[in-house]
Structure 1
Amino acid sequence: MSSIPHPDAGAARGWLAKERIIAPPGFNRWLVPPAALAIHLCIGMAYGFSVFWLPLSKAVGIQAPLACGPEIGFWQELFVSHCDWKISTLGWMYTLFFVLLGSSAALWGGWLERVGPRKAGVVSAVCWCGGMLLSALGVHLHQFWLMLLGSGVIGGIGLGLGYISPVSTLIKWFPDRRGMATGMAIMGFGGGAMIGSPLAAELMQRFATPSDVGVMPTFVVMAAVYFVFMMGGALAYRVPASNWAPPGWAPPPRPAAGVASSMITHGHVHVRKVWGIPQFWLVWMVLCMNVSAGIGVIGMASPMLQEVFGGRLIGVDARFGELDKVQLAAIAGVAAGFTALLSLFNIGGRFFWASLSDRIGRKATYIVFFVLGGALYVSVPGSAGAGSLLLFVAAFCVILSMYGGGFATVPAYLADLFGTQMVGAIHGRLLTAWATAGILGPVVVNYMRDWQLGLGIPREQVYNQTMYILAGMLVVGLVCNLLVRPVNPKHFMDEAELAAEKRLARDRAIAAESGPGTMSFHDSSRLLVVLAWAAVGIPLAWGVYRTGLSVARFFH
């Protein structure tokens, strides 16, 4: 403890200090979610980075990829400048995003709790946007190692810090609606690609020349735009005073001695203790299984639809392998609309399920995910075999809504179990489950598909066994969720430990002369709230519109 500066140290009084962002009486809490959305909508572009792969794969050849010779392996591709990168090589940036997201959130979650969301948001903006600028230099010099360092490593650190920066703050602002609050922000992470992907495509088209594919200036422009939005969001963060509560709300009463405690704790667990608490690992498995099943489907949604239904997608009675190039291009367009539809359900599910969890509880919400999700996975082979496109698509739309809902509900689940004091740091450590799932889910789906194709199984049937395996993952998640019980009080910080942690986190009550105030919607300018929501709502609406155009092709 002695190595940690005292909270009243001079450096702590800067404009990024947590003391500077404690909200005054009358502050409107509905200004905080747009700040979180501003950051999440920007870093959510990590999901859409694949829009750059095809142009980057012909950055040298321009019209067509200029392939490297057989003597050029992966390590040589990091430094080679006379030939084009393979798409499989570029995909390592995507892998680094989510590895660094989980690891940086786990490493610096405790630091974030102590310095507050503003400083973490600024660091996130500098890393994410600075990483994009370094990647732009890598494109200009055609040095892939610069892109890995820029967007992959530095940007990945910004991704992790930006992802968890609003969690603790929103939960403290909305103790009455924890799920809804975190659902709003994490919905933005899912929606980031809806805005960024079409924006990047239009910018690359505008900047493309006969000698340039337009990726480098696109990176520069997007980095500048994202920096403005992310800094705006970071500077708009405010944290509530430690004695603040929403008007008319009171925390659930503490259980009487000898009475089983509820799933919503009144204590607070220190982040350094969570590794040794069974409930943490149970929730870790809950998230890992839910994400593994969903992320495996996301990566194969387009080829799965095409291979299962083949020519029926365009009214032709033919299997996938019997189609010509024109027909294959046509069903690829339909499949793109399918993936766009899934993205809408992924985003909408984040808000819907997290908000529902406020009413039925987090544990019950995950029971729904696993029971309903398992039944839907098991139903897929039947609907595919019967040729029912409607049932097939409906099943995956609901599945993807619960995939997104799992991300949005888990921060509130952690706050219920471990308290709110260090929930952001604990959430950061839990995100290692996401990194694990990002490897496990795609590996299961991809390798099972290749193995069954190797056995000579028809393409329209190669996903049947995979669906049963994914359903099995959800059964494992269900068992873990059912085993979750309230945390043993011995793991909670005592009053002295909690007071010391609050001092380190620079938590302060509202000034005595102001009294233990409450802040209502009407206490601050409605116009400011409207403007804040418009700043994030208009880009999100544009992204939904562009995605809707792709969805329309699917229904057409």
Structure 2
Amino acid sequence: MHLHNVSLRSVANTVRLNSLRHPLSSFSVIDKRSLSQTQTAKLSTQSLPEKTSFFDKYLGPKSVVANEKFKARWLMAVPPFLAHLCIGAPYGWSAVAGHLSKEYGFVCSAANDWTLAQVSLPMSVVFFLHGLSAAALGKWQMKVGPRVAMGLSGLCFGGGFALTGIGACTHSLPLIYLGFGVLSGTGLGLAYTPPIQALMTWFPDRKGVASGLTIMGFGSGSLLFVPSVNYLISKFAKMPTYLGQTLDYTLKDGKMFASLSDGSLAEVVYANAADLAKLSHKGLSEGYYIVGSGSTGATSALMVIGAVYSAAMLTAATLIRVPHPKYTEEMNKSMATVSTGTPVKVERNVHVDTVMRTPQFYGLAATLLCLGSGGMGLLSVCKPLMADTFGGLLPDIVTASFASSYILMLSVGNLGGRIGWGVLSDYVGRRKVFHMFTFGSLGLYLSFPFIVSQIAQTKSALPLAIFCGTTSLAVSFMGGVYAILPAYEADLFGPKYVGANHGRMLLASSAAAITGPSMILSLRNMGEKSAINGLLEKVDPAIFQQKFGVDISQADELIKAKTMTINKLMEIVPANVQDPTPFMYNTSFYSIAGLMSVAALAHYMVGPVNPEYYETEENIESKSITDEIPESEKLVDAADKKSS
């Protein structure tokens, strides 16, 4: 009796699965008379069309399916590009970081201003949350569809910028990290993979182009963000109060205080020519300025940009579409054979729950970690790197506007790499292009210290142009990695779960977001401290006393209060002493070159996936049937089998 029940239930489950797949022909598989009246009624009920909910109609996965007659697939690249254009803004964060590090002092950092490292690391947090949220929410994104994921992303991403503006206004570093880092980072992760996967369904024959077109927007995000934020900051900025080139002041804990006309004491900072050269504002003079009397304009600029990004991303979520099933069938038929008539390899897929058990996953992840660390490290400090390293050597060329333009140069490299290397990979293969990334990056990072030394020796624009070109090429390699990686994963693990699998791969991107910027900033700070100590050994104590008003033994207090910097020490050291500023990043370049050697080795070991990891038809069928059986019947089946 028990065996008969089990058999009957198995037959019913099979029919239930067929009715879901082919509702009109479900009962052709089995004679209805072999089932009881109750089972027949249950199967007949499941054959009826389900009532569509408001969520499914306007927001769910079915709401983004295009009309059967719509086949303009190139037009469908616009919404993914628009979404990625917005979420690519964090690559230009260094344009904001410099202003936030001078929110009080304005012309130079005051004692209570944040350090460059403190305001640069939010970029690490945003990309860390990017990979973490993409990995954690990958299955949820597949369930709710791209429209919900991208819509929620727009609210999070734009809201994060607004909260960052509030943090700048209240001088709250936790709000900066919570807003731009956590909230915007989560929004970035939510909107990253759904547009890529949606566009790849329109281009099954050109996956590299599809992923490149989408991520091209991500790489060009800073091309929009940097000039926009610079314009808004210049409009909202308020100039600080100028007190003159000479001033009587008193020192307290390394800070300078001056007596104002009303008898009150105010903290002041002194800006020399080197400090003013780093500012985009014109008409400021060397001398003393009251701390807190001006405003960089970053607060209002961030709030405006947050509102614009939210609106743009919600628009992209409304316009996003995936092809109609008939379009997919037609494309599959056209791809049945290649131009030579050779049969195309049968599609094989590695399930998202299995992909992290394959060695290929970790080989690609290690490659992404190392290449991403180098590129993100450069982008996190590109503006201060250009201004600090070459501003003193070539002051007529490396101005504040040139340093901002350098961000755009790297962004162009990032953009060009995402589309150019993506197209190339479709012709020569992903593996060969990745080999070029790893070995090419190793040579580039090793060459940077030499190029810097040539600029310091010759003070010529030619080696500066070479430095800009080679660093842009290095960033293009990172952009190419992010553009090609989804298609590379589809080649290795199959296209079926590429969205969720790529979300897990982005965990390596999260690690890169922390590793690269943290490494460069930490090594830079170590280099800066070493340079200051070296200069102090060469300074005449009497001249130091005359310049700063305290004994040289109290230099640590001045350093902590940001009253004494390298460029201010260079005013009193002997004339034959070389400025150590251009060489502060050399250790960082050599360290990143070491990471590139690890990337080359890791990718060299990536080979074809073992067939044992592929999904089989039996597993798919078994999993699908089990998923369709109600939980109560699963328990009854289990009890019947146990008793039998």
- Give the total of aligned pairs: 465
Q: Is the 8 A contact 2:94 2:380 kept in 1?
A: no
The answer to whether the Cα contact below 8 Å between 1:168 and 1:422 also exists between their aligned partners in 2 is no
- Corresponding residue number in structure 1 for 2:59: 16
8 A contact 2:201–2:323 mirrored in 1: yes
Does residue 1:130 correspond to 2:198, yes or no?
no
C-alpha separation between the residues in 1 aligned to 2:481 and 2:337? 24
Rounded Cα–Cα distance in structure 1 between residues aligned with 2:626 and 2:195:
19
Q: Structure 1 unaligned segments of length 5 or more: list them.
A: 1-5, 69-83, 254-260, 315-326, 507-556
**Would you say the 8 A contact 1:418–1:487 is kept in 2?**
yes
User: What does 1:57-68 align with in structure 2 at a 5 Å threshold?
Assistant: 67-68=111-112
Aligned with residue 611 of structure 2, among 489, 509, 513:
489
What's the CA shift for 1:16?
A: 0.6
Q: Does 1:235 align with 2:310?
A: no
State the match for 1:521 in structure 2: none
- Does structure 1 conserve the Cα–Cα contact (< 8 Å) formed by 2:349 and 2:496? yes
Q: Aligned partners of 1:451, 1:197: CA distance in 2, in Å?
A: 29
In structure 1, the partner of 2:357 is 276
1:218 matched to 2:301: yes
Pairing 1:416–2:494 present: no
**Stretches of structure 2 lacking an aligned partner (at least 5 in a row):** 1-45, 240-293, 456-461, 535-577, 629-644
Are 1:440 and 2:554 an aligned pair? Answer: no
1:73-118, CA deviations, whole angstroms, 9 ceiling, x for partnerless residues?
Answer: xxxxxxxxxxx65554444432321121111011001111222211
User: What corresponds to 2:541 in structure 1?
Assistant: none
Question: Residues 230 and 502 of structure 1: is their aligned pair in 2 closer, same or farther, counting only changes over 3 Å?
Answer: farther
Describe the superposition over 1:45-100 as per-residue Cα deviations: whole angstroms up to 9, x where unpaired.
222334444554565677887754xxxxxxxxxxxxxxx65554444432321121
Q: CA deviation at 1:483?
A: 1.6
- Aligned-partner residue type, residue 422 of structure 2: A
- Cα 1:100–1:245 change in 2 (3 A) is farther
* CA pair 18-505 structure 1, distance change in 2 beyond 3 A: farther
How far did 1:301 drift? 4.3
Q: In 2 relative to 1, CA 450–212 (structure 1 residues): closer, same or farther, beyond 3 Å?
A: closer
How far residue 474 of structure 1 moved from its aligned partner, in angstroms, is: 2.2
- 2:88 and 2:218 in contact (8 A); partners too: yes
Residue 485 of structure 1 and its aligned partner are, at CA, apart by: 1.7
User: Aligned with 1:368: secondary structure?
Assistant: helix
For 1:254-403, list aligned pairs within 5 A.
266-302=347-383, 313=394, 330=398, 333-387=401-455, 389=463, 390-403=465-478
1:519 equivalent in structure 2 = none
Aligned partner of 2:501 among 426, 429, 453? 426
Compared with structure 1, are the counterparts of its residues 251 and 490 closer, same or farther at alpha carbon in structure 2 (3 Å cutoff)?
farther
The more displaced of 465-474 and 488-497 is 465-474
Matched residue of 1:484: which SS?
coil
Question: Structure 2 length as normaliser, TM-score?
Answer: 0.64
1:30 maps onto 2:74 in alignment: yes
- Distance in 2 (alpha carbons) for counterparts of 1:200 and 1:163: 23
- Partners of 1:291 and 1:297 in 2: CA distance: 10
Provide closer, same or farther for how the CA distance between residues 10 and 433 of structure 1 changes in structure 2, counting only shifts above 3 A.
Answer: same
CA contact (8 A) 1:269 1:422 kept: yes
Residue identity over aligned pairs, in percent, reads: 34
Alignment map for 1:169-188 (pairs within 5 Å): 169-188=198-217
Instruction: Report whether the alignment pairs 1:165 with 2:194.
Output: yes
Tell me which residue corresponds to 1:541. none
Partner Cα separation in structure 2 for residue 218 and residue 504 of structure 1: 53
Q: Which moved more, 1:333-342 or 1:415-424?
A: 333-342
Asked whether the equivalents of residues 121 and 517 of structure 2 are also in contact (C-alpha less than 8 Å), the reply is no
**Displacement of 1:202:** 2.1
Equivalent residue number for residue 250 of structure 1: 335
* SS of equivalent to 1:26: coil
Distance 1:109 1:8, change over 3 A: farther
- What letter matches 1:225 in structure 2? V
Change (3 A) 1:499 1:172: farther
Deviation at 1:128, TM superposition (A): 1.2
3-state SS of 2:592 partner: helix
Q: Distance in 1 between matches of 2:627 and 2:444?
A: 45
Distance 1:310 1:143, change over 3 A: closer
How far did 1:15 drift? 0.7
* Separation in structure 2 between the aligned mates of residue 32 and residue 187 of structure 1, nearest angstrom: 14
Give the conservation status (yes or no) of the 8 Å contact 1:118–1:237.
Answer: yes
Tell me, in whole angstroms, the C-alpha distance in 2 between the residues paired with 1:404 and 1:139. Answer: 30
- CA deviations over 1:111-170 (Å, ceiling 9, x no partner): 112222111111111211233344444455555444433333222211111122212212
Quote the residue 1:150 is aligned against. 179
Instruction: Give the residue type in structure 1 aligned to 2:60.
Output: A
Secondary structure at 2:93 match in 1: helix
> Of the candidates 209, 214, 221, which is equivalent to residue 192 of structure 1?
221
Distance change (3 Å), C-alpha of 1:309 and 1:213: closer
Distance of 1:369 and 1:155 partners within structure 2: 29
Task: Judge which range, 29-38 or 468-477, deviates more.
Answer: 468-477
Q: For residues 471-486 of structure 1, what are the structure 2 equivalents within 5 Å?
A: 471-486=593-608
1:39 maps onto 2:161 in alignment: no
Give the partner amino acid of 2:307: A
Select the structure of larger CA radius of gyration.
2
CA distance in 2, matches of 1:56, 1:378: 32
Per-residue CA deviation, residues 499-527 of structure 1 (Å, 9 max, x unaligned), is 68899999xxxxxxxxxxxxxxxxxxxxx
Task: Tell me the distance in 2 between the aligned counterparts of 1:15 and 1:503.
Answer: 28
Instruction: Give the 3-state SS of the residue equivalent to 1:420 in structure 2.
Output: coil
**Distance apart, 1:362 and its partner CA:** 0.8
C-alpha distance after superposition, 1:317-353 (max 9, x if no partner): xxxxxxxxxx6x9555544443432221121111100
